[in-house]
Structure 1
Amino acid sequence: MAPIVHVLGARPNFVKAAPVIRALGAAGAEQAVVHTGQHYDERMSEIFFVELGLPEPDVNLGVGSGGHAEQTAALMIGLEREFTSRSPALVIVYGDVNSTIAAALVAAKLHIPVAHVEAGLRSFDMTMPEEVNRRLTDQLSDLCLVTSPEAIGHLANEGVPVARAHFVGNPMIDTLLANLDSFDTAKARAAFDLPERYVLATMHRPANVDAPGTAAALVRHLHGVADLADLVIPVHPRGRATLLAAGLDEHPRVHVLEPLGYIDFIAAVRGAAAVVTDSGGLQEETTILGVPCLTVRPNTERPITITHGTNRLVTFEELVPAARKALGGPDGPSPAHDARPPLWDGHAGPRIADVIMEFLGEHGVAA
């Protein structure tokens, strides 16, 4: 039988893939996992396989970092070799990283069907590399597996046939809900010497951390948040040198940590009084956990987190006032929204598996 090949390259991919791999395994599908090595730090990749119960990758391409062209080219070369040797029944790609678009391009040119998990999300900001990756991947995908209702409209507006789009829910939330009992905030506080009340931050978007001047401005405002409450920031490899050069760790109430594994990280998020981020997935996770989230970006491809969760877009200048409000300042705390977005119910993995198995059956492919 031809295998279904999952292409994984970065932390969010692993979290989304775990329930899909589990559900396809229960359906009897033969599967292979290709880890591209786009995230090559153990805490950003390998530890997730252990914590999420993912099978060991069948291959690790070990691509590592580099410019967009260099990294994408290396990914395509390695993936073409793997797809040619494995002859997949289907390639499944996740999210919007360079591994995603590289795998979709290679599979399409080899006439291998592609399924895109998290299709149709749009920031409408083409200066974001992720937006370019998302749009092109959806055009190349035979199955567009959608996590939120508005994404169906985005795909239709771009000419994607409605039969290719399937609203299945959010597999990242499957993983979150399945591990709720493991997110021990007291244990995380003890392990990382965290105070009782803190704001957790993550920053890695190129627009925020690549240019020294921008990074310095961001650090000044993060220090302003630290004036209100201790700021805990696991520092992503991207931007680490720039942020530290800008003096990130020079405030007495800023706690700089190394990247954390999934369980430790979400435990720290769950125990935070608020979150400051430019991440996409963390906007979703805080929505379910009911933690106020301030997203330091001019736009989001996840507007459902704003309407259904605790998320708010802020500029650098708005960050400290918004943090004061979220922490319970004069205007009171930001209220958590109890309702979950549609189909964020912990069963997206099985729905995705059903769509994929039906697609392969219709096309006479055994997996």
Structure 2
Amino acid sequence: MYTITIIAGARPNFMKIAPIIHAIKDAQERGAQLQYRLVHTGQHYDTNMSGSFFEQLQIPEPHVNLECTGGTQAEQTASILVAFEKELLKKPSDLVLVVGDVTSTMACALVAQKLHTKVAHVEAGIRSDDWTMPEEINRLVTDSITNYFFTTSELANANLLKNGVDPNTIFYVGNTMIDTLLKHRPSFKPPALWEQLGLEPQRYMVMTLHRPANVDEESQLKAMIDEIITHSKDLPLIFPVHPRTAKILERLNIKYSRLHCVSPLSYLEFNYLVEHAKAVITDSGGITEEASVMGVPCMTLRDNTERPETITLGTNELVGTNPKHIKPFMDILFKDDWKEGKPIPMWDGKTSKRIVEVLLELHSNGYHED
């Protein structure tokens, strides 16, 4: 029996691992001698991750929650290292599969290698080249100790090759987040605020901001929102906001009748809003992927991105962090002159199937015993 331990540390990780688990179950039904154990490190506490969250997206409940919540970057890393080492010693595995770029990704990869367990990294090779981002450090460290690399783009492949990775260990498979998006798109549903605010398709915008450079510096946050309001015509702005950011907004006395700060939404509700929006304004990498696949104009308030394919092929544009750069992009949007996206190779809903096929092939070839 080939055993795989799958790591999830934050809510988006579950979106990425859910289709992999579905593909594993499909392989099991076909007779594959493959089993998995899902470990939630508990890195991000999220009140929306209730039983209904797992049920809604058909994500299995984790086998264990290590409850490594809170603390500084160093404290959280240390907590995950200690807890996952105990878990892996108690429940040994042939392979540890990590996804994305959160602290859990890096910490669990490190534990696995120290215990002589192979590591596979889903979303390997993506780079922002911005070392001020904790996620970039996590990517670099994880990819330096990974055995098998599952990539979302040719550029990610090139990044890995540039770092001296053996090309035989790189597998260009696509994007598991898009597997989840395409599977659940028919089930998207309007949140309660759709009727409460009288929203109509193409007659509102969605905004998400969470990066410290945008939300922790009060003058920057105020300047960003002021510019967005000034140049967004009369459209309502729907801003699902973290409670900490909400307190900053309140302190700044940022109150516009068109700005609707709402609690975080479920996956199906949030993506319903994105799908029908005039545009999305964000500093999230994952949302740029989803918006591009759904053909929704997207403005990224960052100076760099680890997902350049959303710009070269998708509907995303890199606006930057200077609030004055927002107006030209808004002008293009309201002239109905926004670029049209093209299909992004391998982002076709079949990525997880490809990953499991590779894992089974590696196992049958005895690679895990090298």
- State whether residues 6 and 91 of structure 1, in contact with CA within 8 Å, keep that contact through their aligned partners in structure 2: yes
Give runs of aligned pairs for residues 174-185 of structure 1, distance below 5 A: 174-185=179-190
Q: Distance in 2 between matches of 1:117 and 1:152?
A: 12
- State whether residues 145 and 165 of structure 1, in contact with CA within 8 Å, keep that contact through their aligned partners in structure 2: yes
Of residues 234, 239, 244, the one that matches 1:233 is 239
- State whether residues 152 and 172 of structure 2, in contact with CA within 8 Å, keep that contact through their aligned partners in structure 1: yes
Of residues 270, 276, 280, the one that matches 2:281 is 276
1:312 aligns to 2:350 (yes or no): no
1:291 aligns to 2:313 (yes or no): no
Amino acid at match of 2:90: S
Q: Identify unmatched segments of 5+ residues in structure 2.
A: 29-33
How far off its partner does 1:205 sit?
Answer: 1.1
Find the counterpart in structure 2 of residue 169 from structure 1: 174
Of residues 359, 362, 367, the one that matches 2:365 is 362
Q: Distance in 2 between matches of 1:323 and 1:334?
A: 9
Distance change in 2, residues 1:46/1:210 (3 Å): farther
Matched residue SS, 1:121: coil
Matched residue SS, 2:340: coil
How far off its partner does 1:62 sit?
Answer: 1.8
Q: Distance in 1 between matches of 2:137 and 2:252?
A: 30
TM-score norm. by structure 1 comes to 0.92
Q: Distance in 1 between matches of 2:188 and 2:316?
A: 21
How far off its partner does 1:295 sit?
Answer: 0.2
Find the counterpart in structure 2 of residue 16 from structure 1: 16
Moved more, 59-68 or 153-162: 59-68
TM-score norm. by structure 2 comes to 0.91
Find the counterpart in structure 1 of residue 340 from structure 2: 336
Moved more, 120-129 or 43-52: 43-52
Percent identity between matched residues is: 44
Q: What per-residue deviation string (whole Å, max 9, x for no partner) do you get for residues 17-48 of structure 1?
A: 11111111222221111111122122257654
How far off its partner does 1:209 sit?
Answer: 1.5
Matched residue SS, 2:281: strand
Find the counterpart in structure 2 of residue 252 from structure 1: 257
Distance change in 2, residues 1:222/1:76 (3 Å): farther
Amino acid at match of 1:280: G
Find the counterpart in structure 2 of residue 321 from structure 1: 328
Distance change in 2, residues 1:194/1:276 (3 Å): farther
Matched residue SS, 1:42: coil
Distance change in 2, residues 1:150/1:364 (3 Å): closer
Distance change in 2, residues 1:232/1:183 (3 Å): same
Find the counterpart in structure 2 of residue 190 from structure 1: 194
- State whether residues 232 and 330 of structure 2, in contact with CA within 8 Å, keep that contact through their aligned partners in structure 1: no
- State whether residues 93 and 117 of structure 2, in contact with CA within 8 Å, keep that contact through their aligned partners in structure 1: yes
Give runs of aligned pairs for residues 188-227 of structure 1, distance below 5 A: 190=194, 193=197, 195-196=199-200, 197-225=203-231, 227=233
TM superposition outliers: structure 1 runs of 4+ over 4 Å:
44-47, 225-228
- State whether residues 188 and 267 of structure 1, in contact with CA within 8 Å, keep that contact through their aligned partners in structure 2: no
- State whether residues 11 and 46 of structure 2, in contact with CA within 8 Å, keep that contact through their aligned partners in structure 1: no
Find the counterpart in structure 1 of residue 5 from structure 2: 5
How far off its partner does 1:73 sit?
Answer: 1.2
Amino acid at match of 1:321: P
Q: Identify unmatched segments of 5+ residues in structure 1.
A: none
- State whether residues 225 and 231 of structure 1, in contact with CA within 8 Å, keep that contact through their aligned partners in structure 2: no
- State whether residues 234 and 258 of structure 2, in contact with CA within 8 Å, keep that contact through their aligned partners in structure 1: no
Higher RCO structure, 1 or 2 (CA under 8 Å, sep 6+): 1
- State whether residues 239 and 262 of structure 2, in contact with CA within 8 Å, keep that contact through their aligned partners in structure 1: yes
Find the counterpart in structure 2 of residue 157 from structure 1: 162
Find the counterpart in structure 2 of residue 129 from structure 1: 134
How far off its partner does 1:312 sit?
Answer: 0.3
Moved more, 341-350 or 202-211: 202-211
Matched residue SS, 1:256: strand
Q: What per-residue deviation string (whole Å, max 9, x for no partner) do you get for residues 171-210 of structure 1?
A: 111111111211235x665366352211101111122122
Amino acid at match of 1:195: L
C-alpha RMSD of the superposition? 2.0
